[in-house]
Chains A and B, each alone.
Chain A
């Protein structure tokens, strides 16, 4: 092999300078790499481009229109939009402090419930289950992600709520010294005290939303776990690791990015969830930190509750609330996808 040097692109302008390769002759001109694709192809590309452009236009229109309509209310309210708890756009007193706090608390409870459940289930599917069982379980989890939220809501209202009340009561009695878990007006000494102060709470809504997002998180985590390199697994086994040792030293570190990303995608869904939350909570417009106490609120249930009675300005205020929710989920989603993309596993997700 005489030379590994890349052959230089012949440049006719400086012919004669340089090595022997370049002065092969004047005939050696740079080839045009552009080939005319013909009319059908040009039409085809134009159609594709315009299709992409159409989708782009619709998507930008949604975001732009939301901001444009929200501007009226945002301009009037200024920074107090972020700090006011009440929602009375008619009298100019409105803000998202209460609904944002409620949304974030519900989503937090949901993530705290869903992540251990989803991690365990994903590990079981990818590491423990036999191949046949694995295929079944994957379909089951995918199906669970497709169950309509109204069905989860029904289950939460008519079944879960009654079962959870004693637990909520127990937690508030014995762990009530933690400020978040306190329930105001509860009397732990009275066994016959009505349990209605524990109903419709952030906790129950968070549990139901957690059940909803667990399969989404689970399927992303499973995907990432199953991509853990076989060589490293076998290496760990060869060093005498138990199965749990392999999981802890190979699978979990490999899948960390996917775990964080999947969790954040689930968080995005939890923030935007409407109907299941709306069916369970009773909406109040005060900042409610006590997650076990009845009455909370979320941005999406605010919109579902108030859209009908809205005039021009109230509509704008609702748009502002919707826009703030959209910005929140957008940030969470982008953070999630960039974390997933940067992680070693680099899994793609289709949630």
Chain B
């Protein structure tokens, strides 16, 4: 028989300190149901009122009273006034801590909003400014070979840069995905002092500034080995930059695989490499995909390693071994250095293309990944169920044939079938 503190009976204090017992026979009809909603009408009124007052006062200051101008100043002053007026309005029907709570909530909410607005703005700005170049179809089918800086937007395009980006990132992925995954598996499956040392070094290398990665490849491969500035060199520079990122992300993902799954596999007598191949890697496949895709997104957008190693060209070059090759961020950087508005439009077009590519990769990562180890999509689950039914049928079949051939072999075949079902599930 608990009575809520609001019950009128509970309020009757006995006068001396001690446990306050609810009075017997209190009228339960006096209990009020508490409103659990967090948003009250007065909050909304205070919010709207404060916003209106702040805007009006700032307008008055800017237009009538003070010699201020500028959009940034207007927003800052309006925001400050809003907080003041809001605090004042809240203080009419709340007290100390509640006022602080409301003000803090307003500040935190506006910070979150500001961050999202800035992101939306950066992305949308690049896409909107790029529309001038993107509406011309030749932007996707031509290189800049025939387009001088004074040519209209109807001539020239970003085909060479898009092709270059794809070639470079392919080279980088061919190097980093096998090396990165083997290293990540190594860090988790062969623990010891050596693995700890490798992990420390890899963590240190994530601090390597990308321009230094470019400088390293420039000094070794181009100056040292005498290769051209080429797509291959750029791909190598991107690999040096991406390798630690991918290893770290993959390491984190593999570490999340439940130890019980591994132990179950070992208990079935499975060897280590079969455990890794059939249990560990499939379990964290979606996480690994996400790690690789996010690493790719980082690599695609990186300019400085490419700037140092790829050279610059206006022509389409599909051979990564010879002659300069450009990538999307690099041409963006070079185009907007030009004073000609048309070249700048081209630059925004390539930036928009790059942004679209990154968005695409990101959405792919969200769709494929974002699941914890062992969580399956409906289709995957369906496939698993079918596979296990097939296994069950096969085992039943085997047992029947074993029964027919020799009767004493039954126990042996049973244990064998069990171990198989364990490793295949």
Contacts and interface: CB of A to CB of B under 8 A. Distances in A.
Interface of A: 37-38, 40-41, 43-45, 47-49, 51-56, 58-60, 62-63, 65-66, 69, 116-121, 123-125, 127-129, 137, 139-144, 146-155, 157-159, 163-164, 166-167, 170, 211, 214-215, 218, 241-245, 247, 268, 271-275, 278-279, 300, 303-304, 307, 315, 318-319, 322-323, 325-326, 329-330, 332-334, 337, 348, 350-351
16 contacts: A48-B182, A66-B215, A124-B113, A127-B108, A147-B119, A150-B351, A167-B70, A215-B119, A268-B207, A274-B304, A279-B336, A304-B307, A307-B215, A307-B218, A350-B249, A351-B206
B115 A128 contact: no
B98 A120 contact: no
Given A51-B179, A242-B97, A56 B201 contact: yes
Interface of B: 69-73, 97-98, 100-101, 104-105, 107-116, 118-119, 121-123, 125-126, 129, 179-180, 182-183, 185-187, 189-190, 194-195, 197-198, 201-213, 215-216, 218-220, 223, 240, 243-244, 247-249, 252, 271-273, 276, 294, 297-298, 300-304, 307-308, 329, 332-333, 336, 344, 347-348, 351, 354-355, 358-359, 361-362, 366
B179 A151 contact: no
B186 A49 contact: yes
A58 B241 CA distance: 11
A148 B302 contact: yes
Contact of A157 (B247, B294, B336): B336
Contacts of A117: 111, 114-115
Contacts of A153: 333
Given A59-B205, A333-B203, A144 B119 contact: yes
Nearest to A214: B115
A329 B304 contact: no
A149 B122 contact: no
A279 B272 CA distance: 51
Nearest to A43: B273
A70 B208 CA distance: 16
Contact of B207 (A60, A139, A247, A333): A333
A60 B108 contact: no
Contacts of A37: 271-272
The 5 closest A-B pairs by CB, nearest first: A120-B111, A148-B301, A272-B209, A124-B112, A51-B182
Contact of B209 (A129, A157, A163, A271): A271
Contact of A242 (B100, B294, B302, B347): B100
Name B's interface SS. helix
Contacts, number: 285
Given A48-B190, A143-B119, A218-B115, 18 more contacts: A44-B272, A52-B198, A59-B244, A120-B107, A123-B112, A139-B366, A146-B294, A147-B123, A149-B301, A150-B332, A151-B123, A151-B126, A154-B125, A159-B125, A243-B105, A323-B212, A329-B209, A332-B207
Nearest to A163: B72
Among B212, B223, B361, find the residue whose CB has the most chain A CB atoms closer than 10 A.
B212
B104 A244 contact: yes
Given A143-B119, A307-B218, A329-B209, A125 B203 contact: no
Contact of B111 (A53, A60, A121): A121
Contacts of B179: 51, 54-55
A65 B112 contact: no
Nearest to B352: A151
Given A275-B304, A279-B336, A330 B207 contact: yes
Contacts of A350: 248-249, 252
Given A307-B308, A330-B204, A151 B354 contact: yes
A325 B366 contact: no
